[in-house]
Amino acid sequence: MASSTRKRVVVLGAGLAGLAAAWELVQSGHEVVVLEAQTRPGGRVLTLREGFAPGLTAEAGAMFFTDRFRHLMRLVQHFEIPYESIFAPSLPYARGDALFHLQGRRLRVTADSDVDWPYNLTAEERELGPFGIVNKYLLSAFAGMDDPVASGALPDWLLEHDDKTLLEFAAERGASPGAQEMIRHGGRFGARSDTASAASTLTADFAPTRDTAPLAFVGGSDVLPRALAAELDQRIHYGAEAVRIEQDQESAQIVVRSGGRQDRVIADQVVCAIPFSVLRHIEVAPALSPAKQTVVNGLEYLSVTRSFLQMRQRFWEDEGVMGNAQTDLAIGEVQQQPLIRSQAQGDRAILEAHARWAGEPPALEGMAEEERLRYVLEEMDKVHPGVGRHYEGGQSKSWQTDRWARGAYSLYRPGQISNWLPEASRQEGRIHFAGEHTSIFNSTMEGAVESGVRAAREIEES
């Protein structure tokens, strides 16, 4: 429904949160200007195409979602964007035996194999294996409890676990030290398992995928931000860097650097949809409240470096194993891309090394691109022996060295979901805040979209 009072709104950032906010505001009849420092939409939704053979793509940012994400699915359905389950026949995830590389050992796992896991596990945990351990100590906690995805709010039972990490939560539920080590190397959630709030990780990583398969976009994750950007069209100004945010009783003003000059853009309201890791380098006058400044300056972001190795053929299929693998190597999780196969790819594919960490960086982080790719290739040979014979070239993406991101996604430490998240999303005067870091579903595309919808609603109701 269109607002009775048309407002001029400036949105800072054309990532998924900013695009969602802008699109909602346009639908309601407001005048919207989007300022994006980069020359593309999407922010941390980034599908790589250049530098690979025809037909090959790689997701360097957001990858998966589920049909339980109601705000995201509303946009997907509106723009009629095709997607598939990652377990669909056209995707690689269900092909071949599972691979692990843990404690210096390459482990091939079948449904009926008796694996000698290299950890000190109980007899039951050894029988369960890594997926059973996650189900027993983490996923089972949701049984009979209020669901944050259905309600869109963080229930009290999850907030009670904001004071501990995921590994501490698992330990309380009986996980042995060995089982905790397996959780630590469990892919997406593993890197945060001993640093982030259990309430945050359980909500963002586990609640959405319970009883439903993860989904991937056909054509790349960036099809959604590109669809939004196409509708917003000339309302988006690319190459426009916000360097100062001002507000008073009459208006808000954004000082913008673009094309070698500085201009001022005047608005009634502002949606700040850029990461706090970037916002802390932008001048705000008058200064944000002390409580808000504490969160803006203190919120951490997970470091992620993703290295993509183009393979002439999917040689692992000849061995009968998946391209994907869980590892404790410095290169992190191994993932096969593109997520959805097409005839245009032929026999080629990409093997990705997806390194995530909080704290001390791994060896690959300080390397130049060529050295990093050589290192990743050598480590990848431990997972997929003979990989060098099929390697054609590659590239990498380090989110913490990207000046427009300065990290992959927000990391709320124990206690910060209760104390910092409400402050992160709180409006200050004419400035509204959006982005995955302001949502209970932080680190997800749903968190970004949901936050944009919320910010638009705040303006609509102001």
pLDDT tens digits along 349-404? 999 999 999 988 888 988 999 999 999 999 999 999 999 999 999 999 999 999 99
The reply to whether 329 falls in a domain is yes
pLDDT at 257 over 70: yes
Are 367 and 416 members of one domain?
Answer: no
Query: What are 338-355's pLDDT values in tens digits?
Result: 988 877 788 999 999 999
Are 306 and 377 members of one domain?
Answer: yes
Classify the phi-psi angles of 415: left when phi > 0, otherwise alpha if psi is within -120 to 50, otherwise beta.
left
pLDDT at 96 over 60: yes
pLDDT at 89 over 70: no
Helix (H) or strand (E) segment spanning residue 31: strand 31-36
pLDDT recorded at residue 362: 87
What's the half-sphere exposure (Cβ side, CA atoms, 13 Å) at 75?
29
pLDDT recorded at residue 91: 55
Mean pLDDT is lowest, of 105-114, 389-398, 417-426, 429-438, for 105-114
Contact by Cβ (8 Å): 168, 197:
no
Are 16 and 143 members of one domain?
Answer: no
Are 427 and 394 members of one domain?
Answer: no
pLDDT at 249 over 50: yes
pLDDT recorded at residue 93: 53
Are 192 and 256 members of one domain?
Answer: no
The reply to whether 343 falls in a domain is yes
pLDDT at 36 over 80: yes
pLDDT recorded at residue 113: 82
Are 307 and 439 members of one domain?
Answer: no
Q: Which residues, including other chains, have CB under 8 Å from residue 309's CB and lie 6 or more apart?
A: 350, 351, 352, 353, 373, 376, 377, 380, 387, 391, 394
Are 437 and 394 members of one domain?
Answer: no
The domain spanning residue 234 has which CATH number? 3.50.50.60
pLDDT at 70 over 60: yes
pLDDT band for position 90 (cuts 50, 70, 90): low
If you average pLDDT over residues 209-229, what whole number do you get? 93
Are 274 and 318 members of one domain?
Answer: no
- Based on the structure, what is the number of domains in the chain? 3
The reply to whether 433 falls in a domain is yes
pLDDT band for position 106 (cuts 50, 70, 90): very high
The reply to whether 217 falls in a domain is no
Are 396 and 430 members of one domain?
Answer: no
Q: What range defines the domain where residue 229 resides?
A: 8-44+222-298+412-461
Query: What are 39-50's pLDDT values in tens digits?
Result: 999 999 999 999
Query: What are 120-178's pLDDT values in tens digits?
Result: 999 999 999 999 999 999 999 999 999 999 999 999 999 999 999 999 999 999 999 99
Helix (H) or strand (E) segment spanning residue 232: helix 223-232
pLDDT recorded at residue 1: 42
The reply to whether 192 falls in a domain is yes
Are 307 and 386 members of one domain?
Answer: yes
pLDDT at 289 over 70: yes
pLDDT band for position 210 (cuts 50, 70, 90): confident
Are 285 and 308 members of one domain?
Answer: no
Query: What are 316-330's pLDDT values in tens digits?
Result: 999 999 999 999 999
Long-range contact list for 83-87, CB < 8 A, 24+ apart? 83/215, 83/216, 83/217, 83/218, 84/215, 84/216, 84/218, 84/340, 85/213, 85/214, 85/215, 86/213, 86/214, 86/215, 86/216, 86/339, 87/213
The reply to whether 380 falls in a domain is yes
Are 237 and 163 members of one domain?
Answer: no
The reply to whether 308 falls in a domain is yes
The domain spanning residue 329 has which CATH number? 3.90.660.10
Higher-pLDDT residue of 90 and 461 is 461
The reply to whether 128 falls in a domain is yes
